[in-house]
Every structure is written in structure tokens, then in C-alpha cells.
Amino acid sequence: MDPPSPWKTPNQVMQIHKLKKRKKALQERMKQSSNSIPTETSSTSKTSVNLDFSRILNGDKRKNPFSKTTAQQNKKVKLDDTIQLDESNDKTLFALLNLPKVIEKPPHEVDTEKLSTFSNLLQKFTAEHTVENKVIEKKYKKLPIDWALKTKLRLMSAKPFPWTNKLKASEEASGITGFVRCLDTTSSSTLDTSPRARFHQTCLYWQHPHLPWLNLFPRSGRVAATSFLATNEEVKKALLTEWTESFRSLFQLLRALHCPYFYVCGNTFTCLFLAAGICGMTEPTALIAPTTRGFRQTLRQEDVEYTMPLRPDQKKKMNTSEEDRKNSSHDSCYDTMDTGEHVSGDEEDPHEFLSQMGLETDEINKINNAQARLAHTAESTVDNAAESLVAVRGVDAQALFNFLLNCKSLVSPNGPFAGVPPTLLSPTAFHGGTLQSLKVRENVILSDSKKYYSIELRGPLLPTALHSIFRVLNTTSNAQYSATFAHHQPTLAFSWAAKVISEDESTKENEPNHFAKAFNKENLSDCGISEDLLTHFCSSETNSILSLDSVKYNSEDDTFTW
């Protein structure tokens, strides 16, 4: 069927013209009829054209008829005329039908909420389906513990800090003495207790090894390789020997509860050792992140049992003992397939079972290879991610220490850190440890014509150091401040895993070791941190562990928000 032609015939044009004339005549008769009714009064708006030629005679400039403003005004005039004409027609129709006149409301009394316009309907729908989410900022008296290592801390305040980068001789000496001897300088009568001395004490830490020409934390591949370390075997052997003694010293201090925790920062992973009693744990614990399938396979070969607390529940326990495999055949088969372990015991050999089914050796090998590839893929999906974190506890922490002590792959044979063993970081002194200080820089920042004072600290910021810095600032200044952190990315999983482990510990109330938690604080009384800080770090509350990005301090009520 052909579409209708846009052109009109002369007959159609005449019909349209006649209809328009009839419509106008009808409107005139209706207006006259409405005027003849004495009880009704109507006002008809008439549009008049202003033929004012005075502006032309006076030389006024003619307005452009094609301008946007003129077009909008003309459109508005036409719209107003149409509305007025429709209102007049409605009044006339009510008069002819002898209906009561509709009483119009003044413009300011019109109930616009009852009008079924699109905007009103949309507003009504939005009001009915919108839930007010009022964010209530919670305030806390204590900061949570974040086990992730920080590389930078920036403090900002509208008032100057009571600290400065320039120290007097007495302030530097008192800060070092208080840190090395683990003294609380707030109550000391012989040491300098000024804010500068106390601040300097919080910026110190112990590290091994210390090579001034290399930045050993965080380790970056952008550093140029040192030729004499990569080629000189005697230097590499001497470094490894010293590192072995330092690592052994730190672990023995941890076992004796004279060191609360320490970090081992390698080229590809970071390990956190926690003493028994920290975070309510009843036995020494080690967390390693990130890991790879090859590293976890090596741990299994060395009989180091571990769990992966950040993985799904059915895959948390990756290597189980022989007794567990016998007691739970279904779970053991799943773990064995996932980790590539060999099944032992009284279970039937799958190779013999497939042979009895009539399959040839080549087909059996293909099935085994396909299954091995699937297990390898499933095991490698979490490599180098937060879910790859490995937790080792109890006697297995000792086995992990022996493994790391003798692991030759910890030291890279080439690259920027060739021959350099992992970096050891600790809040307490140990054999071979070097006393180091954070890099401090002061700045004044102008923002929106306001002056802010800033202090930036760079270096390995340990968890206890952060709490000590905030403690000194809160007791020496009444100013409000904010703090922002830069994390060492691989260590972010430490806080998440510690929270999961702490939650598991809180549910084990019937175990014999549960009562040992009451003596955790007393056992760690000589670990080198203050008494109030030790109470906080020994707490078994899961809410006390949290990963932090920024913190705000309110001096009015002495509270923190994050």
C-alpha cells in the first residue's frame, strides 16, 4: 500500500478553509450567547498587535526576528493566547449548558500536588521509594590495630604541632635512651620529657641488614644492581651468615615473649611473626603474603601445615594430617585434588580402578594429565592475591622458621637485590639490629586561603609506632588533626587474616588453652611496649583489628573517627 501523499487537492484545501470559517463563526456565536446571560460575566482576552511605528521614525534599531530570545518570546505569547482561548471556550460551554460556573482558584491557591503532571508523578514516586541514608559518624576512644606496614604517614592540623625536625642534643639523647631501654619518658625524672624528645622516641625502629646505598624497604626493582654484591661470593656469604644470626635472635626473643612481633620483608613476600598472647592468640602465629602455588607446595613438602583463612571455607585447610584424611574421606579427596597431594592409606588406587574398567594406559594417562591441569589451575587462581595468605600456628611456626632459615631461594642471585637477604623489622632490639629513624619533613600548606601545618614521616611504620605517635600528640597538643597512610600493599591482608583468626579463637572457649589468655599481658610485660599499649594489643576483641586508610582526631571529646 502506497503511503498517503503529502500534497492536498484543491477540494481538500477548500474543505479545510470552510471548516475554519465555521469554527470561527461558532466561536463568535458562543461568545455572544455568553454575553446575553445577565448572571454570568466573562472576560475574553483579546490579542492585540502593537503597530507602533514611532521607534522606526526615531531611528531605533530593528530587532532580529530570527534571534533565539525573540523566538522564545513569540512562542510564549502564542502559548498564552492558546491557554486564554481555551479558558474562554470552557466558560461559554458551561453557560450554554446551564451548568454552574467553575470557581477558579487564584494562582497561588492551586494545589499543584494533585495535578497529574509528569514532574509531580516523578517526585511522588521518588519520595515513596527513596530511603534516607543518614551517615552517622561513629566516634571511638581507641584506635584499632592495623597489622599492615605503612610506608608514609601525613599529619595535618590547623595549629602548629609541638614537634619539630630540629632537635637539641638532650632531646635526641633522651629519645634514643627511652627507646633502647623501653622506658616510659612521661614519668621519668632524669630524661627530657619534652614533646620533641618523646616524638623522636616514637620514630625509631630496629632493622637488619642496613645497606646505606640500598633502600631495603619497600624493595623496588627500579634500583640499579650492585655489581660487587652480585659477583663477590664472600660478601654474599657474610651477609647471609649475619642475617641468619639476626633472624635466629629475633625468633628466640619472640618465643621468650620479649618481642611482641617482627616482620620479614623478602623480594616476593612478607612474613609477620606474632608472639603468643598478641590479639588473644594462645600460640605463636606467622602470616605470609602473598604466596604462590610453588611456595605452598614447598611448604607441604617440608611438612609445614598451614591454613588459608581468607579463602572460602571449603578450601581453608589446604594440607591436613594423615589422621584427618582417614577420618574424612570426602574432604580429604577434595583437598588432595585441589593441592595435588597423593592419597595414602587403605584407599583404592584410581589407576587400578580405571584399568579394571577396560581403559588403556594412554587413556588413563590423558585423564590423569587433565585432572592435574585442572588442579594446577584451581590452585593457581589465588596466586599473589590477598586470598593466597598463609597462616602457620603453634609448632608449625617453628617448622616455618627452620624452613626460612635454610631456604636458599630467599636471596635472589641476580637483579637489584642480588645477594641481599630479607629485611628484618622489629620494635625491640635484637642481635645485629641497626637503630634507624623515620624520615621527618615539615610543610606549611595553603588551601582556600587557610594555613595548615603538615608533618610527613617516611619509612617502615610499625603498628606500635603509630599508636605511640598518636598517644604523644594527644597528650602534648589540644589541636584537632587528621592522619592519612600509605600502605605496603602486600601486607594489607595481615589485618584481615588476623581478624578472622581472632574470631576463630573467641569461639574456642572449651579448649584447655583458653584460660591461658588471662596471663597473656603478664607474660608479655617485658616485650618492650608500654602497659596501656600492651593491654590494647593483647585484647581478643575482633573489633580491635581493622585496616585503616585515614584517621581524624577530635580534641573536644578526645575521640577518633576513621
For 351-372, the pLDDT digits (tens) are: 665 566 666 666 666 666 666 6
pLDDT for position 137: 67
pLDDT band per the 50, 70, 90 thresholds, residue 10 = confident
Asked if residue 318 has pLDDT above 80, the reply is: no
Give 3-state DSSP helix, strand, coil % of the chain, rounded to 5. Answer: 45, 15, 40
The DSSP bridge partners found for residue 390 are 288
Higher confidence at residue 342 or residue 221? 221
pLDDT band per the 50, 70, 90 thresholds, residue 230 = confident
DSSP 449-484: TEEEEEEEEEEEE-HHHHHHHHHHHHHH----EEEE
C-alpha dist (Å) from residue 550 to 34, 156, 286, 470, 486: 77, 11, 27, 13, 9
The DSSP bridge partners found for residue 153 are 457, 485
Across 10-14, 262-266, 331-335, 484-488, least confident range: 331-335
- The most confident of the ranges 233-237, 247-251, 278-282, 372-376 is 247-251
pLDDT band per the 50, 70, 90 thresholds, residue 430 = very high
pTM, whole model, 2 decimals? 0.68
Percent residues over pLDDT 90 in the chain: 35
Neighbouring residues of 134: CB distance < 8 A, sequence distance ≥ 6: none
- Please report which helix (H) or strand (E) contains residue 439, including its range: strand 439-447
Go through 287-326 and write b for each residue having 16 or more CB atoms within 10 A of its CB, e for each that does not: bbbbbbbebbeebeeeebbbbbbbbeeebebbbbeeeebe
**Total length of the chain:** 562
Output the average pLDDT for the chain.
76
pLDDT for position 305: 95
- The most confident of the ranges 212-221, 396-405, 514-523 is 396-405
Average of pLDDT values for 237-260?
95
CA-CA-CA-CA torsion sign (182, 185, 189, 194): positive
